[in-house]
Structure 1
């Protein structure tokens, strides 16, 4: 396994590739770069279907390679040409990639130091592996790729090659610096509780998509916001913490912290608890991720302790929010059960927003498909994971009467 040092080279801007540049993580990542002049440069950009925004980003940062999920390099070229004309830029001609494999190709682009994977969903798996294979530091916001890929992803990663960007895992990584692995007693992963904290299970049945999107703290996309409402997001984060930090699942505990100031905590064997606290701003973990293991001055605003405030912590009601317990059981069952869990959830969330199922059907469907799943008797590989993902999506779509 590689012993490469992934620390930034002093005196040289760190070259950043952004996967999902037009999404929430990507746009905030570019904001971090804007506010740290001379510290970073943009090596490559890969965006989704918002060609207008992607083109403006490309013309502003002028990366050598630009890719889009839109399956037409001509449409991307036209968008960049328009954006360049509007900005008065005449000499910019990047290499263009288009289609479903563009993100993976760009993640492996050699002229980069760090790849920020900000895609949401299982489609982030192949870019994650491409970045690791290319030897880049991976600033990982796409939790799903690690969760469904599990040990397959870890076998490609050198020590120190994955820098977590989720606020909870960034907090854990920071707190873990306070002790050795043998001194860790427990990881405490905080949750905002979402918009339905205190609801009964019966009350959850009538939740509407509009209510599920009303997160009390964070401004996120539809999938992540809905996952936060069902607590599936916290379930995925518990599994991600297990994989990132090699702490057993029974020593990882979710705790509801409504203020979203303490992003997670580590309890050590002597009874000490180290917490990472900051106002809810994803620019802090993004900045630390792309500059890992060093901090970026002024990345975000600190807590103001001159003003009175109260922080509360409550146990997660697992009789109402069953997603975390279900994920722990799935992760312990086999190397592919979490691929099923994630795939079912993604299909069910879309069905919920299309008005095809109730809110509580999301987690109930995950449980049903997991019960009906029999792992394949084959060596764990990327191909096996992707085939499992494909089966789970098709099976869920058949159950719910929707398209996969």
Structure 2
């Protein structure tokens, strides 16, 4: 049994200097996870030093500011067209400081992931994060994983190269499970309980969801996230992805992974043990806490984020998930059980359907309904140890094309 992220099986990488700051590579530095990670780093210069940054290329001014503030050796952009403006921004802001090496192209982040360092934070959005994930693991780095898609679409590939405990998850739910699992042995775990905010529509029936507009779906009550992740939270596709991820990270069967709606988003997930005890990890909704945990593990970073204020009255609510109104979690269980390329098809089709919904081409309930049709048409997936990156890419390409066809009517 290969438990990729169990805290009782800690992986010590080859490259580690216990006398100095931990060297990091941050992929996706201009996104939400990346910017918050840099905030943690800048507040803890004695603990961390960033040696390289990568980003897609849409925010070169911010990327240049980050690179110079951190004094990185290398900075990379996925879009080759972003290289000239990045170099110009670096030169304009450098004020005499040394300029970092600049890499550009779709393989640049993968190259950075294999650089000599202690940990690689993969904060890239989408399945394009798979190649950097594999590169970091093969290079023996600790992978601080915020890019859930790389694990979803390439689960067998990741499991084949990752050492036990080499991955430290950054999703708030999986960081919570990671911590709670330390309260017992693997044999004592009865089930994992993944919490969901429920999104903005948690009390609505399926019929009431039919007329939901993009602006309504983008108004998340708790978290500030990108549009795809926010819509995934509204449909609960994100929770389906997290169930698959929990299965892969912790080797717990799907029938022992539950989802419960918790609107306050303070209890981030729970582990129930065989004696009936449940351990919950609680903190205010602030991603800097799980990010800092990932960057510093097995040590905690003091004051990474505010804790709960126990001097004030508070109410925490928990509700069962309405699988009729929100069928995405059950669909994800089916997809995860199929394995192989089925999760890649699920993820890619969903991204296309979210795009169609935001453009007004699909109703809100049509997102998961269309994904289910694509998954059903996919048939028997490529599975087991024979799965290759090419299999994943081909399955994604087919799923995106078919989802677009169905969304167009």
TM-score grouping bracket, smaller chain normalisation: over 0.9
Which residue in 2 is equivalent to 1:55? Answer: 64
Q: Is the 8 A contact 2:342 2:381 kept in 1?
A: no
What is the match of residue 46 of structure 1?
54
Which moved further from structure 2: 249-258 or 154-163?
154-163
Q: What is the aligned partner in structure 2 of residue 192 from structure 1?
A: 197
Q: 2:212: which partner in 1?
A: 207
String of CA shifts for 1:55-76, please: whole Å, max 9, x gaps. 1111111211101122133232
Corresponding residue for residue 333 of structure 1: 338
> Once the two structures are superposed, what CA deviation does each residue of 1:238-282 show, in whole Å capped at 9, x if it has no partner?
110010000000000000011111000000000000000001100
CA-to-partner distance for each residue in 1:82-107, whole Å, 9 max, x for gaps? Answer: 222xxx2x132211111222221211
Residues 1:20 and 2:25 aligned together: no
Quote the residue 1:305 is aligned against. 310
Corresponding residue for residue 226 of structure 2: 221
Unpaired segments of 5 or more residues in structure 2?
A: 3-8
Pair 1:395-2:384 in alignment? no
Measure, in 1, the Cα distance between the counterparts of 2:327 and 2:74.
43
Deviates more, 1:185-194 or 1:392-401: 392-401
Query: How big is the shift at 1:3?
Result: 9.2
Q: Is the 8 A contact 1:257 1:314 kept in 2?
A: yes
1:64 matched to 2:73: yes
Equivalents in 2 of 1:199, 1:285: separation in Å? 31
Between 1:282-291 and 1:371-380, the stretch displaced more is 371-380
Q: Output the CA distance in 2 between the equivalents of 1:46 and 1:162.
A: 20
Residue pair 2:370, 2:403 contacting (<8 A) in 1 also: yes
- The residue number in structure 1 matching 2:298 is 293
Which of 89, 96, 102 pairs up with 2:108? Answer: 102
Q: Is the 8 A contact 1:14 1:113 kept in 2?
A: yes
**In structure 2, what is the equivalent of residue 155 of structure 1?**
160
Question: Against the structure 1 CA distance between its residues 248 and 4, is the aligned structure 2 distance closer, same or farther, given a 3 Å change threshold?
Answer: closer
Q: Aligned with 2:317: secondary structure?
A: coil
Q: What is the match of residue 91 of structure 1?
A: 97
Structure 1: tracts of 5 or more residues without a match: none
- What is the aligned partner in structure 1 of residue 5 from structure 2? none
How many residues were matched structurally? 397
Residue 182 of structure 1 corresponds to 187
1:231-242 correspondence to structure 2 within 5 Å: 231-242=236-247
> Which residue does the alignment assign to 1:36?
44
User: Is the CA contact 2:29–2:63 (under 8 Å) kept in the aligned structure 1?
Assistant: yes
Separation in 1, partners of 2:123, 2:132: 10
> Are positions 1:383 and 2:363 aligned together?
no
Report Cα offsets for 1:199-256 as digits up to 9, x if no partner.
Answer: 1111111111111111111111111111000000011011100100000000000000
Aligned position for 1:81: 91
| Match among 350, 359, 371 for residue 366 of structure 1 | 371
- Deviation, structure 1 residue 132: 0.8
Q: What pairs up with 1:261-300 in 2 under 5 angstroms?
A: 261-300=266-305
Q: Distance in 1 between matches of 2:114 and 2:162?
A: 14
For the residue of structure 2 that corresponds to 1:304, the secondary structure is coil
Query: Residue 6 of structure 1 contacts residue 160 of structure 1 at CA under 8 Å; is this kept in 2?
Result: no
What is the DSSP-based 3-state SS (H/G/I as helix, E as strand, rest coil) of the residue aligned with 2:364? coil
What is the CA–CA distance in structure 2 between the aligned matches of 1:187 and 1:377, rounded to whole Å?
Answer: 28
TM-score for the superposition, normalised by structure 1: 0.95
Distance 1:5 1:114 in 2: 10
Q: CA deviation at 1:37?
A: 2.4
Of residues 116, 131, 137, the one that matches 1:126 is 131
Contact 1:212-1:229 at 8 Å conserved across structures? yes
Map Cα deviations across residues 130-178 of structure 1 (whole Å, 9 max, x no partner). 1111111000011111011111111111111100000000000000000
